[in-house]
Structure 1
Amino acid sequence: MRSLVFVFILLLSLTISAQTGREARIDSLENALKSAGQDTTRVNILSELARSYGGVDSLKAFEKGFAAIALAKRINYLRGMADANINLAGCYLDYFDVDNAKKYFTIGNKFADKLVAKDSSSRNMKIWLRGKYNIGVAYGYEGNVEKEIERIAETIPYAQEMGDKMFVANANTSLGIKYSNLMLYKRAYEMFLISQKQYEEVGTPEDMLYHSLSFSSALSSMDSLKRMKSVLDIAKVNLDLIPNSFYEGPYQMELGLYHAKIGEYNKALVALDKAYTYYKEQSSSFYIKLIYQRYAEAYSGMGNFKKAKEYTLKYINFSDDEHSFNDKLGSYYSLAKFDAKLTNYKSAYNYLKDYVAALDSARVGELGNEMQQLEIQYKTATKEKEILALKNEKSEAALALQVKKSQNYLLGAVASLLALLLFIGFYAYNAKLRRARKKEREQEKEVSLLKQKQENEVFSAMIEGQEKERKRLAIDLHDGLGGRLSGISMNLSKLDKDEPKEYPKTQLKKVMKDLDDSLTELRSIARNMMPETLVKFGLQAALKDYCSSMTGNDTKVTLQFYGSEKGINLNQQVTMYRVIQELINNAIKHAHASEVLVQYMRDGNKVDITVEDNGVGFDKQEIESEKAGMGLSNLQTRVAYLKGDLEFNSEENEGTTVNVQINIDAA
């Protein structure tokens, strides 16, 4: 029961997070939609907007979702039809419309099946996995936990094969929660241990919090209090890393429950007070209802039956009026017990009558629920046995096949050896010649590889030396000449303030303006030679700073940065920055563009950089001619250093799109 309650709490928490954390993402997507030129790009952005608005603004969520489906259908864009239908289904699921959610999940999954049959790339497989996983969640909303577990378990092997460790961790935690709800605690415990290791490897502090609090709730139901404390300690470490986290309230409630279970009632009350303070402004919140129940348990353990009765009444009379039979039974029985302890025997008797009446009403329904739960447990166990038997059968068949292959390999080896012995006399001389020629070719290949390696090292050292020299010059210019000019400016400002009669004020102002212009130009040169923002804060911050600086009255430069620069060394980041800087300069200087869109997208070890402008364009044949000039040569050299591919798409008076694809491992 507590696991079910905690899952509901986390869903509410995530909804609150979505209402605040998605705002920047939604604004970015809306801006990208306005500047998107291609229909496929518009479909992708509309579909992502439908997903982002889900649970936040239902009207816009459905508006964007249906628009994405219509456009994808019109242009026959298979990936867009799969993604848009699955995202629209998610919108229906956000508002608990399970029938429509299943309808659009089914449509989207059919498109996703066709998509991965043609192209099973990681990008497409993620859409397929999301559709399969979430239709399982929809079944869970209907109470069909067996089918939900089956769907979730089905996705895990594919995600593991893709190397999507975060998806696998989330799926295993979900299975742990489901097994705990079914009171299959041993299986739940195993799943939580597996996902904990996975989150420790790839998860953020927020991911670790979600897992730890889910695990803690399950451990509470198992009465595994020592383990519950260790898991709550992990949650506290990660909570301290996230200021003002929405997990603060759930953590304090779980901590209060733990202290009450081990008899530390004063500590339990302290934790519950913190939780209540966190949620007291939300008077109708489910959290407050749960806190009332835990207050009553703590005060009862302390022997303060008056307070225990007070909070039990608050709990049973809570405004949402949603109480299960077990809630009512437990509450009436507790109220009868508290009044008896307070010698209010008449009131205790009345509560006891209410308890008996509720018990009679609950028996039939409870028996049906227990039978249904036992049936689900039986089917789940049977399904796992079937899967295990199938795996064993496959293993035996694979072993037999391997043995047969080994026998064939052995026979083939013997036949080859006999053939070799038979003809060795005839071909001894030719074999000797072939070995000599092969050795010569291998030596030539080795020399070529060494030469190429040496050239790469020289080129890498040259690039690194250039960047070091630029950095040194930037520091010298900024700290040396910049300091002197700043001092002159200050002295002249003082003279201007004193207003000496022997100096003309107009000339002083002109000198000061010249000095200020010199300082501005100096800082611009220093930033271009070695962007200080990149060294201190990374590639994203440096690009944002540069795009802002290049935006003026006649030109708008927009940056869309998806992914991160984590794991990319400084030399590679600087080279990427130079590539994007050169492309923006070309768009403004040569193409006379008024709008430039820069996209940085990272998926695993792959980085895609796209720079698109609305300038005058050019004839692609000029790229291959000598007219390209030094700028393009430098650009091609930098992309080659990153082991990347460079592609130009342009037509005269239609603008230009430049795509750069980089593999981080190769670079």
Structure 2
Amino acid sequence: MKTYCFILLLLLTATRSSAQFSTPDKYLDSLNQLISKTESDSIRSRNYFLLADYWREQDTVKAKAYLEKGKAFADKYPYMKAMYYSYLANYYLGIDNTKSEINYLKADKELSVFKTKEAYQERAGAWHNYALVQQHQDDHKGALDALINHVLPLSKKAEDKIWLGTEYISIATIFMNIKQYKKAIPYLNQGIEHFQNAPRSQYFLLVNAYLTAADNYSGLENYKQTKKYLDLAKTLLDRSKNIVSHYRIEVFQLDYYKCATTYFVATKQHQKALQHADEAIKLAKELNDNYSLQEIAFDKHTILIEQKRYPEAEKILIELVNLKETTSLTQNRLKTFDALASLYHTTGNMAKAYAWLKKSKSLGDSLSESKLKTDISNLEIKYKTVEKEKKIVSLNAANENANNKIKQNLLLNWLLGLISVFLLVIIILGWFFYRNSKKLAAQKELYHQQQLRDIERQRQIDVVQVMLETKEDEQNRVARDLHDGLGGMLSAAKVNLTHYTQEKNNNTDVELDNIVIQLENAITELRRIAHNMIPGMLLKLGLEAALRDLCDTLSTQNLDVVFQWLNIQTEPPVQEQITIYRIVQEALANAVKHANAKNILLQCTQSEHIFFITIDDDGKGFNADKPIKNQGMGLKNMKSRVEHLNGTIEILSKENEQGTSINIELHVNS
């Protein structure tokens, strides 16, 4: 199983350690100058702590000396005294985990009296490193508890998005280590969101988040998403080449090539896998990162074996055998020996295969012997423990006889007391039961009244629905009669009159031409009235086309109507589309006729079964809080149709002020 180690709080280490700084000498000079020039013991203390943190991985003696100097200057300052425990815990990190844990908890307790953002950050950092210790001890549950229940709340109080994003990525890596990749996804998304606006000098945070997400989706075998996040990381890495940062961008380029190699191996793109593996090996050598070199080299040898490029695979394995990081871990040596034995067996070199197999067996036997000694030692400890427990049991038996008499006397007193308490509890429960019975009866009555109100409301909605459907049917009938009957008659009259004019060659009769034009205008007006009464385009092309046509029809030189149709995959049923069309038609008509608007925005969106309509105009406002009986017919009809679809309507407008905003939510069937 691949182990992901969540990153340390970079905001802390950026100021506390220059181990990854491009110019560590300048960093040390800066700290020493601050110590020599300042007269403040608090500043001296802080800078000595920073020096201790810098030297803790390089010279523990020097680090301890700086730590004690900082402590001496911190005695007069409670905050710096509390900080001392945090830096002391850092000093023990990786040396003595028990002392490290104790001092992180001590730092949190001492810092808890301070309510500043810096104090919250320091406490979050202490808990973060505490979680790191738990992870190194394979206590994933303890690490998650520290991150979720302590680090996240404190980071939120510190109000630092970069800091908080780091913690979300840390939590995700824990879930990845225990193969709960799906649980890691929401934390990865939140971490990436917090890093989106990171300054250019901290692009590496977003790169690291993208690569972590790619590894996570690779664990889920969702290679489409893996490729997506790899591409995002690559794009950001390319943009970061010339950016000045405290951290070497090559470290994250190496992570990218390692992750990409894994992706191409999984998707059987062996040539690309080899290309990326070579880039990773090149970078690992430049960075002197032999652990990554070992990891990627072994992956490369696997690809070469599948491609039957045995000499190249043999060369890589021989180099791994001679690598210090490989030989320092017995399991790594065993893995490499077995790989060489398998390679030589495949190529038919049985002598070398046997030699490496013998080395593997010898090493395996050594491991088994070591395990046997450990098991024997554990058995001896268990035996001694059992003997001690026997002595304890015999001593306890003697003490138990002496205590039995005391217990018998106490038992009688307890029994009488419990009977009294039992009777008292029955009385109290009876009183509570009586009081709750009265409350329950009152609640039932309220519930009954509410049911009656709901029935009456539903009846009113049904009545309104019948009225609206009847009105819609009548409008459709009248529209058809106008269009097919009167419209046809007017069209026939126009054709006959035109034909008559052509037969008589009376092209100069101006009055006759005017009559033809008037008939044409009458036919156009009749069609417009019929179109408004029944939206034929809606029935033919759907709601979106009908609303867009309505907006285009209303738009003039003095009025701009903008229509937006967003995130709607499937339109509602036809009857609901007609209701929505009527609501929008009424709202736009009000804005045109009464508000004298110059600009109108119509926006329609949908989320599952909720259909949202927003209509904004820059016309004259009105008093939207008038009683319903004083409101116009158009507004009443619009509200009735909204209620028909179990929706809500919000009208934001004030009399004698410019602009009106209408927000409508409707329940529809997708």
TM-score in terms of structure 1 length:
0.48
Which has the larger Rg?
A: 2
TM-score in terms of structure 2 length:
0.47
